[in-house]
Amino acid sequence: MFTRRAGFARPFAFAMAAIFLHMATACSTPKPPTPFQTREDAEDFRQSLLTDARTIDKFTGETRAGENVSEFSLGWLVYTILVSASSTDERLYHFFNADGRDTQLYLRTTFHDHPVQQIAALDALIAEHPSPLRYAARYALESLRHIPESDEPPNAQQRDRGELADNLARLSANLKQAAAEVHFP
């Protein structure tokens, strides 16, 4: 989906992911971020970040052990991380939901077609106001660029796994930092 080559399996997996995302979002653009209204909301958000970090840690371990992570599984997790991050950061919200699109459409079109430029644009947002959630969004997107393809030569898969594992580790660290910085009302 976001790597250099694409065979039949990638477009099929991407199409299936798009169908599931479409059903999950029910064709609606998420509402702009609002501060947490209750301690329970803040704690739920904190726990969701930690749960995502644990899943990322599992993917990192699998990747370092030489296994190829499922593009569908990682893509779905990245989508949920981006939605979560943009639910509390208005600039991220507008970055992923510009021009009436939602995060799903952003991933399918804007990011898919221009991943390097989109990561550079996100880096500019980070330069304005560095935060663990913005870094998490950056490393989540970067991880999508390094999913090994089974039809690649073994050395290319190994290189991709190394880059993927590094980005996943950074993603996890930033999710944990963001969880530690959740402000309770």
Taking a C-beta distance cutoff of 8 angstroms, is the pair 45, 84 a contact?
Answer: yes
Tell me, yes or no, whether 162 lies in a domain: yes
Tell me, yes or no, whether 21 lies in a domain: no
Give the residue numbers spanning the domain of 137: 34-180
Tell me, yes or no, whether 12 lies in a domain: no
Q: How many CB atoms lie within 10 A of CB 149?
A: 19
Tell me, yes or no, whether 144 lies in a domain: yes
Number of domains the chain is built from: 1
List, for residues 136-151, the tens digit of each pLDDT value: 999 999 999 999 988 9
Q: How far apart are CA 15 and CA 155, in angstroms?
A: 28
Tell me, yes or no, whether 155 lies in a domain: yes
| Rg from Cα positions in the chain | 16
| pLDDT tops 60 at residue 100 | yes
pLDDT band at 184 (very low <50, low <70, confident <90, very high): confident
Tell me, yes or no, whether 3 lies in a domain: no
Q: Helices in 65-114 by DSSP H: which ranges?
A: 71-86, 90-96, 103-105, 112-113
Q: Which of 150, 160, 140, 142 is nearest to 55 (CA)?
A: 140
Tell me, yes or no, whether 112 lies in a domain: yes
Q: Which of 149, 168, 145 is nearest to 64 (CA)?
A: 168
List, for residues 105-123, the tens digit of each pLDDT value: 999 999 999 999 999 999 9
Q: How far apart are CA 117 and CA 108, in angstroms?
A: 15
In Å, what is the CA distance from 147 to each residue of 34, 48, 164, 170? Answer: 33, 24, 6, 16
Q: How far apart are CA 83 and CA 85, in angstroms?
A: 6
Tell me, yes or no, whether 123 lies in a domain: yes
